[in-house]
Amino acid sequence: MPELPEVEMARRYLEDNIVGHRVIDVEVKDVGVLSGIEPSQLRERIVGRTFEKAMRHGKQLFVMMDDGNSLTIHLGMTGELSIVQGDDDRPYTRALFRLEGGSSLDYIDQRKFGTIGICGPIDSFLEVRSLGPDALEIPKDEFITRIRAHRRAIKAVLLDQSVLAGIGNLYADEVLFGSRIHPMSRADELTPGQLGSLHRLVGEVLRKSIEIGSDFSSLPAGYLLRSRRAGSECPRGNGILTSMKVNGRTTILCLKCQPER
C-alpha cells in the first residue's frame, strides 16, 4: 500500500514525465475512480490544459495545470502511475490521459480504492478533507503540540491523517520502534524527549525510504522494516518481535525495546 515515500516517488515521476505536457484527450475506463466529477466534466476541464507542477501533501498528489486548477490523484491501496507510448493500456487501467507528443499517463488500480478528481485551491481541498500538516514538513514544535493534544494510543494518533498527513501502518511501527515507545502509550503522556525523538525519526525514516526507493532490504541495519514479522529477531538483537492489534491494525513491536509503562 503506497505510503508517503511511495507517493513522493510517484510525484517525482510525474514531475519528470508529464510536467510541461499538454493533455489532448482523456479516457475514463472505470467511472468508479472519479471523485466528485463526471467523465464529461473531467474532459472539459482537463483537455487542452498543460501540466505545470507536481505536488504532494501526505499521500495525496496534485498536478497543477496552467489554469490554476489541479488534477488530484490518490493511489489508494494499489494505484500506480505509468507513462506509456500510444494505445498501450493494461488490464487494470482506470483512466488514460493522452498527452501531446504521443505518450499517455496511465492510471492503473487493481483494487480501485484510489481516486481521481479536479480541485481549485489546494488549501481548500486539504481543509475540506481535514488533512493535517505533511509529515515531512511539520516543524518540531507543531508536531509536539498536535500529538500531545490526544489521549489515544500514540500509534492511533500517528495514523490519524487529520493530526499528521502521510504516516501509514508500516512507518508508524518503524518510528515507534526507533523511539522505543510502546504503541499503546497515551499520546498526552509522552515525555518531551520521546516526542522530540518521534519527530526526528518521522523525518529521518521517510527521507531514508525515499532515498532507497522504498526497497526495505536496502535500509540500514537496525531498521524494523527490514524484517517486520512477529517471531523475527529484534533488529537491535534484543528480544523477539511480537504482534498486537492497535485500532484494528496489525502492529509489530519488540516488548524489550518498547516496554509498556
In the complex with Zn ion, the residue whose CB is nearer, 20 or 222, is: 222
* Cα–Cα distance for residue pair 176/39, rounded to 1 Å: 43
The least distance separating Zn ion from the CB of residue 157, rounded to whole angstroms, comes to: 23
155 in active site: no
- Which residue in the list 2, 5, 133, 183 is annotated as catalytic? 2
Q: Is 2 a catalytic residue?
A: yes
The answer to whether 256 contacts Zn ion (rule: CB under 5 A) is: yes
**214 to 253: interface string for Zn ion, x by CB under 5 A:** --------------------x-x-xx--------------
The one catalytic residue among 200, 226, 249, 256: 249
Nearer to Zn ion among residue 94 and residue 182 (C-beta): 182
- 3 catalytic? Reply is yes
Minimum CB separation of residue 177 from Zn ion in Å reads 8
Contact call for residue 255 and Zn ion (CB under 5 A): no
Establish whether 59 is a catalytic residue.
Answer: yes
Q: Is 254 in the site for Zn ion (CB under 5 A)?
A: yes
Q: Among candidates 47, 56, 54, which has minimal Cα distance to 23?
A: 47
Q: Fill in the per-residue mask, 180 to 219: x = in contact with Zn ion (CB under 5 A), - = not in contact.
A: ----------------------------------------
Query: Catalytic pick from 11, 59, 146, 155?
Result: 59
**Could you tell me how many residues of this chain bind Zn ion (CB under 5 A)?**
7
Taking the least distance from each CB to Zn ion, the nearer of 107 and 177 is 177
Q: How would DSSP label each residue in the chain?
A: ---HHHHHHHHHHHHHHTTTPBEEEEEES-GGGBSS--HHHHHHHHTT-BEEEEEEETTEEEEEETTS-EEEEE-TTTEEEEEEETT---TTEEEEEEETTSEEEEEEESS---EEEEES-HHHHHHHTT---BTTT--HHHHHHHHHT--SBHHHHHH-TTTSBS--HHHHHHHHHHHT--TTSBGGG--HHHHHHHHHHHHHHHHHHHHTTT-GGGSPTT-GGGG--TTSBPTTSSSB-EEEEETTEEEEE-TTTS---
| Shortest distance in whole angstroms from residue 180 CB to Zn ion | 9
Q: Which residues of this chain interact with Zn ion, rule CB under 5 A?
A: 234, 236, 238-239, 254, 256-257
Q: Please list the active-site residues.
A: 2-3, 59, 249
